[in-house]
Structure formats: structure tokens, C-alpha cells
């Protein structure tokens, strides 16, 4: 169990955003959808209680051409996916 963040996360905003983009690209490849573009409504959120960032991209096109959202969350210090996200 991760303790809440008491100070600043080790991943600053720009590196965290880039890490989130990498993880979303990986997710898209694995789940068979294409991120068309990152909309201006995308968000990078820091949850101090869980010590994690969440990046949500507002516009993407899935294999069946439906519009939707994709989100990924990861450790705010290490950039690692949580163990539950690694399970098939």
C-alpha cells in the first residue's frame, strides 16, 4: 500500500505528462485502438492520497471508429503502472 504524498512528486508535470503519453500509446497498441489526437480537454491529474497521476485523453478513434476517452494512471514518483494494471 502506497502512502499519500506529503511533498512534491518525483515526476514533475512535464515528465509525468510524457510518461502518461507513453503509457497511453502502449495501451492503445495492446487494446487495438488509435489515439487520433490529444484534445485540449485532456487532463493530467495528481491524486496526493494515492500518490498517482492520471492522464486522460479526450478524443480517440477505436478500431470500430467509435469516439471515446482513454485514461491511464501511474505512480507519481516512479512512473510505474500499479500491479493491478499489469494483469491481463
Query: Tens digits of per-residue pLDDT, 15-57?
Result: 999 999 999 999 888 888 777 777 777 889 999 999 999 998 8
Higher pLDDT: 3 or 26? It is 26
CA dihedral 61, 43, 48, 30 (to 10 degrees): 20
Side-chain-side CA neighbours of 1 within 13 Å: the count stands at 3
Rounded to whole angstroms, how far apart are CA atoms 28 and 8? 29
pTM of full prediction above 0.85? no
pLDDT confidence bin for 60, thresholds 50/70/90: low
Report residue 17 as a C-alpha cell. Answer: 505528462
Amino acid at each position: 500500500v502506497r502512502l499519500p504524498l506529503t511533498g512534491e512528486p518525483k515526476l514533475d508535470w512535464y515528465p509525468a505528462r510524457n510518461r502518461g503519453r507513453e503509457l497511453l500509446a502502449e495501451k492503445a497498441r495492446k487494446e487495438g485502438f488509435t489515439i487520433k489526437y490529444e484534445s485540449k480537454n485532456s487532463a493530467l491529474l495528481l491524486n496526493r492520497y494515492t500518490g498517482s497521476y492520471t492522464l486522460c485523453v479526450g478524443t480517440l478513434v477505436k478500431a470500430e471508429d467509435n469516439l471515446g476517452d482513454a485514461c491511464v494512471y501511474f505512480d507519481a514518483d516512479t512512473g510505474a503502472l500499479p500491479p493491478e494494471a499489469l494483469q491481463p
